[in-house]
Amino acid sequence: MRRAASPSGSPASDQAVELFAGLVEAGVREVVLSPGSRSQALALAAAEYERAGLLRLRVRVDERSAGFTALGLAVGSGSPVAVVTTSGTAVANLHPAVLEAHHSGVPLVLLTADRPVELRGIGANQTTHQPGIFGVAVAWWRDVQAPGDGADDADAARAAAGARALAREAVRAALGQGTPDDGLPLAPGPVQLDLAYREPLSAAVEALPEVDPEADPVPTTRTPRRVLRLAVDDVPATVVVAGHAAGPVAERTARELGAPLVAEVSSGARFGPSLVPSYREVLRDPAFGGRARRVVVFGHPTLSREVPALLTTAGVDVVVVQGDAPEAYDPSRDAVVVDAVEVVAGPADPDDTAHRAWVGRWVQAGRARLAADDAAPDLAAAGSDDAAVRARFLRDEVDLLRRPVTRASLAESVWRVTWPHDRLVLGASRLIRELDRLVGGKAVRVHANRGLAGIDGTIATATGIALAAAREGGRGGTTRVVVGDLTALHDVGSMLFGVGEERPRLQLIVGDDGGGTIFDGLEVAATAPADAMRRVQTTPQQVDFSALAAAYGWRHVLATTRSELDRALVAPGEGPVLVEVPLRD
Ligand SMILES: Cc1ncc(C[n+]2csc(CCOP(=O)(O)OP(=O)(O)O)c2C)c(N)n1
Ligand SMILES: [Mg+2]
């Protein structure tokens, strides 16, 4: 039966089609959805837009996987990603990804289907309190009443325009494009459109409305509001810290200021002449960290105790460039927080002798400490003028390749094979710290979920990053995700690619040490009884990773020696592969 003034016969479908039109016009290109009944109009509309080549659609049974896949797609593409779920617990399963996206400022537009008001609060099936369910993790949300039949065509046209405008506003909110006056968020992050629908929950969509994807996309970058001018020190005493997602601006600022650069492995700034290796030891040294008087922080540092210690030292002035995060990283609660810094000319020159010496001493000190680390490769011997030294180095190398993989050698191998067209994703826990400790400078793209450093959703996040990379000139590259065994097992459900879903070129590298061994290095290990420690902290596992990979249709490679690992890493093949790496220390 065709209803009055509903073009399709279902107001739900009419609205869904217009919402996606608004999303596409605002710049959304990717949608991740999980199946359900109440959300069918949204799902079917998304499928139509995919067929028309206006959106790419990824389908995941588990909303937790869907959420993290969307997060990875948004990080990888730099654009907002939409997520569609049905009502009830389906929505709640987005919560971990929503928290991570909030804390790291990643734009997601959540379209959560809901029951209309008359079915709320009466014990109706699959009905809970969805508007605002994510609390402060969602800075902008709307409780959208169920669309009804319009009285006439003018009514229908008004509803269509309203839905498009709402979608556009959601994208502006997700991208943090608000102003202090319009009530929209000032930082990017997840936003929620809670969309109530009445029956009929969908109708066949015969034709999509006019959509121009290039007409007026919402800008994905924001204009900095608070810009601080910084002059080069008269007497060099500045250090630049690049935490997670700092970006190349941190490296450039270090050079412009004549300052050493402390850059975490997922900072996007771990390269360049000012980079200090083994920064933790150097910061601890009173002759280096002890001499810093000004610190400029980019991104979100999470991997060391030395950085917060430095930022809370009396007499150290801290400038924090907030970036996309909703909270500035300010352990002293006393920093000058800005959106950008601009280095201005002053009496001193960053290239004068004093500044070059200051940076040079930090870099040299870091190199010396790295060289003293047994786990680091002896690059001096590799390049020695003495043929006998070089030959010995080669013999040692061949011998090394037959040895079991250690955490340090895994970190080193993965870093060695990673190039700018690749993507590297690092799970939380020990391995990211191992890379942070050991690897040198290289301008490669590294991601890690450091917003909340959860061990959840890492496979799905990497999947999203791999799918985004496949779209943007990264076709030749490989996405590698390096995780501990528990981190892998936490997200096994994300190994599921349904029939017809794009299977990205992804290497899931599992460093298996039989449980969560990070706790061995914490104070608790010294005080807890060994058996209790094992049972409640380490939580050992003996999963058969080969059978697991087979069950999900992934290839599997067991890499027990360093040469087997190196071979596996450089031969990714097509589609996803699980590289199981039993770890010795
Ligand atoms: C969702 C979530 N649950 C629990 C934790 C606490 N946690 C941090 S590391 C870790 C163990 C990780 O084990 P594994 O992945 O095997 O890495 P390993 O430390 O052994 O290298 C746990 C449970 C967390 N960060 N996130
Ligand atoms: Mg482990």
Give the confidence band of 373 by pLDDT, cuts at 50, 70, 90.
confident
Q: Which amino acid is at 424?
A: L
Q: Which of 116-130, 251-265, 492-506 has the lowest mean pLDDT?
A: 116-130
Q: How far is the CA of 508 from the centre of ligand 2 (A)?
A: 14
Name the closest ligand to CA 519: 1
455, 492, 510, 541, best to mutate for ligand 1 pocket (most atoms within 8 Å of CB): 455
Percentage of the chain lying above the pLDDT 90 cut: 87
Note if the pTM is more than 0.85: yes
pLDDT digits (tens, 9 = 90+) for 233-256: 999 999 999 999 999 999 999 999
Q: In sequence order, what are the residues at sequence separation of 6 or more whose Cβ sits closer than 8 angstroms to the Cβ of residue 216?
A: 25, 26
Q: Return residues with CB closer than 5 A to ligand 2 (ion).
A: 484-485, 513
Cα of 544 to ligand 2 centre, how many Å?
Answer: 14
pLDDT number for residue 444: 97
Give me the pLDDT at residue 1, please.
Answer: 47
* Beta-bridge partner residues of 82: 31, 109
Q: Which residues line ligand 1 (CB under 6 A)?
A: 428-431, 453-456, 483-487, 513, 516-518
Q: What's the whole-number mean pLDDT along residues 542-567?
A: 98
> 518, 519, 520, 534: which to mutate for ligand 1, most atoms within 8 A of CB?
518
Per the structure block, which two tokens stand in for 528? 């807890």
For 33-59, write each residue's pLDDT tens digit.
999 999 999 999 999 999 999 999 999
List pLDDT tens digits, range 397-445: 788 788 999 999 999 999 999 999 999 999 999 999 999 999 999 999 9
Q: What is the pLDDT of residue 572?
A: 80
CA distance 492 to 318: 42
Q: Of 176, 23, 209, 177, nearest to 110 (Cα)?
A: 23
Q: Please name the residue whose Cα sits nearest to atom 25 of ligand 1.
A: 454
Whole-angstrom distance, CA of residue 260 vs CA of residue 204: 61
pLDDT on residue 584: 82
Q: What is the mean pLDDT of residues 447-456?
A: 98
Distance, in Å, from the CA atom of 585 to the CA atom of 582, rounded to the nearest integer, reads 10
Q: How far is residue 354's CA from residue 331's CA, in Å, rounded to a whole number? A: 30
Ligand 1 atom closest to Cα of residue 489:
15
Asked if 488 and 433 count as a contact pair (C-beta separation under 8 A), the reply is no
Q: Which atom of ligand 1 is nearest to the CA of 512?
A: 16
First to last CA, the chain: 69
